[in-house]
Amino acid sequence: MPKTLKNVIKFVCFFGIGVLLIWLFTKDITAAQWEEISAAFRKANYWLLIPAMTIGIASHWFRAVRWKLLMKPLGYQPSTLNTFFAVMVGYLANLAVPRLGEVTRCGILAQYEKVPAEKLVGTMIAERAVDLLCLILIMVFTVLTQLDTLGAYVHSDILVPISNKIAHANGMQLLIGIAVLGILVMLTIWLLGRFARSKVAITIKSLARGILEGILSIGKMKNKGWFVLYTVLIWSAYLSQVYIGFFCLKATNHLGISAALAVLMIGSVGMIVTPGGIGAYQPLVQKSLERYGIPYAIGFAFGWIIWVAQTLLVIVLGFISLIALPVVNKRKQTAAGR
């Protein structure tokens, strides 16, 4: 099956899931609630989205600079502008197909900066691992500091379902799964050894070596302090966007950092579940705001306002980056040839 057709099918499937989630979330909304939601949208102060979106741009720039730090130990120093463009095009691709953006941004930077794609994949994996760790730390901190507000929610909606799944898990199925995985790993190692001189085996080994080298680059960095600083700036920017967003609606402008942390924590999960968080981000944000006494209609409106602002930013910057990449690099090549 052609790669383009596969991506189209993936997009249709994941977009369909998002639309289904939106329908499930909105099908029981009453006429009175729709009126409250409409009123919240009409009365919102959208001017405050300008500083929030400006901070959003800064977060993407920090991510580009942080990514560059992972490439330096490998002997590569791409331009910050090209790295930023690659990050934004990657985010744009993620709106269509989950995780496609990671491959896309590595491919773009490999094309324009002549950095081996397999090494970029390794640095990207290392970067994502750090972000996952940050999200886990935020979750732990938020829950522990707000047990009275979020404790019951985490227990009933997260811990209980997980424990039930574990309790009903079939031990034999788990053992079979582990055995099959072990066999596949051993078979792969044997095949690579048996056909070590084949083009496919050499390619796979080169790819694996490059990915490993990229992952290990995080330990070889000389400027680890800067890496930590940019990581803090990225997540602080995410938190600031939510906090500023609270002031867009009169009913949420009294909420503080604690509520912003909860929205960031739960909303991040929504962004992971579906492309760009469509159909998942909004209900999760609405549910989290319920814990702080925010009515259904207001939480619904807030979730959509923040999601639309973030998504529009990615779409606009993504397309600008897509157009600017060949233009900027052609000028660089022309200037270098003089």
Domain residue ranges of the chain, discontinuous segments joined by +: 3-14+46-159+170-337
Mean pLDDT estimate for the chain: 78
Q: How many whole angstroms separate alpha carbon 265 and alpha carbon 140?
A: 10
Tokens of 239: 């938190």
Give the mean model confidence (pLDDT) for residues 31-48.
79
What is the model's pLDDT at position 245?
A: 93
231 falls in which pLDDT band (50, 70, 90)? very high
Give the mean model confidence (pLDDT) for residues 122-128.
83
Q: Quick one: which of 255, 233, 237 has its CA closest to 246?
A: 255
End-to-end CA distance of the chain: 45
Residue with tokens 């803090």: 232
Phi, psi of 211 (to 5 degrees): -65, -45
Angle at 207 between CA 14 and CA 276, to 5 degrees: 20
Give the mean model confidence (pLDDT) for residues 56-82.
91
Model confidence at 53: pLDDT above 90: yes
- Output 207 or 69, whichever has higher pLDDT: 69
What is the model's pLDDT at position 261?
A: 93
Q: How many whole angstroms separate alpha carbon 35 and alpha carbon 39?
A: 6
- Which spans in the chain are helix H? 3-26, 31-43, 49-71, 80-96, 100-113, 117-145, 147-154, 160-167, 171-194, 199-220, 224-246, 257-273, 281-290, 296-337
- Output 335 or 305, whichever has higher pLDDT: 305
Q: How many whole angstroms separate alpha carbon 133 and alpha carbon 260?
A: 19
pTM of this prediction exceeds 0.85:
no
Give the mean model confidence (pLDDT) for residues 130-154.
82
What is the model's pLDDT at position 18?
A: 52
Largest CA distance in the chain: 70
What is the model's pLDDT at position 234?
A: 96
Angle at 265 between CA 260 and CA 270, to 5 degrees: 115
188 falls in which pLDDT band (50, 70, 90)? low
Q: Quick one: which of 318, 224, 236, 275 has its CA closest to 59?
A: 236
Residues 6+ apart with CB under 8 A from 302: 40, 245, 246, 248, 249, 252, 285, 286, 289, 294
Q: How many whole angstroms separate alpha carbon 285 and alpha carbon 220?
A: 38
Tokens of 123: 């640095």
What is the model's pLDDT at position 255?
A: 92
The rounded Cα 194 to chain-centroid distance in angstroms is 39
Tokens of 76: 């590569």
